[in-house]
Amino acid sequence: MVNNGQNASKRTAARRKSSGALARATFAPPQTYALDIEILSANELRRRIIEQRFRQAHQINFYLMMLVESGRCKPVVDYTPLPEKKGSLLLVRPNQALKLDLSSSWEGWITIFRPEYLALVGNDLGGDFFLVEEMQGLPALTQLNEASRHVMSSLLALMREDARSNHPQPLTNAMLRFQLKSLLLRLLMLSNKTRAIEPNSTEARRFRRFRALIEESYTRQHKLAHYASQLGCTVKSLSRATLGATGTSAKQYIAARINLEAKRLLTHTQMPISAIAERLGFDEATNFVKFFKRDCGLPPSEFRKQHYSIYN
């Protein structure tokens, strides 16, 4: 995952302290590793990563799945602790804040892959075109029964062996994509998710474009009318598409994305509330405080008081 030495870790911590921002962790396997997905045991991950590095939350730019085979661990995703035990499967998405438990009290599998690798899975010949979209709605934590845990564990062990094979890289990458697709489809079936709209309908495509625009612009633009104009549709049409995809209105979706980032910063950094307000596109800190309190039920200062000391 991250393959830095002690000096790099200190530089990262210093930059984080000076900027107040969440440190970033990138997909960075060893230089000799040429694939876009990596499967590691917990012990292998511990040997690679300096434990101190992930005692503080990092914002990751890759997908991470962690299956606990024995013992217990206590990762934190965004601002939520997710205690895991045997059979727990954790799914962390790009841009989420992860505080990883690297203690020796648990064993299991960790799978990490680039976001574009998941997109390639959905584009594979014979692939399920809805897979990428459905992945967005999976819960962060799934508790598997013993039979499902055994199947998932066997799949991951096979994937690790295939990743270490001497076959040509294109063949290995293709094999791992199909194996990952199988694993994710099993996870989707276990989640019993249902969709309110067809995955390739006009409304579904509109929502996907809206979601992408939000990720690009939520720190600068909060107005629903702006996004509707960018998408060439009415506010009503955009709200209907968002409601069908998420069960919430488009306005609520924008607010939730802004407040999610605010909660990450309040939980895992000491950035002043005024600086958080500015980073999230508010002209005045008081406007941010009102906005946050309206949606979250308490002011940012109280949210930080309840969460920061727990994880830092």
Residue span(s) of the chain under CATH 2.60.120.280 come to: 6-191
Residue span(s) of the chain under CATH 1.10.10.60 come to: 202-311
Which residue reads 């309190």 in tokens? 293
The fold adopted by the segment(s) 202-311 is Arc Repressor Mutant, subunit A (1.10.10)
Whole-structure pTM value:
0.79
Q: What is the pLDDT, as a whole number, of residue 137?
A: 74
Query: Does domain 6-191 sit in CATH 2.60.120.280?
Result: yes
Q: Which two tokens stand for residue 171?
A: 């063949």
Q: What is the pLDDT, as a whole number, of residue 181?
A: 87
Give counts: helices (H), strands (E), the chain. 13, 10
Separation between Cα atoms, residue 79 and residue 101, nearest integer Å: 14
Average pLDDT for runs of 10 along the chain of length 312: 44 45 81 85 84 72 94 90 93 90 90 80 46 75 94 95 90 89 87 58 88 94 96 96 91 96 92 96 96 95 85 59
By the 8 A CB rule, do 220 and 171 touch?
A: no
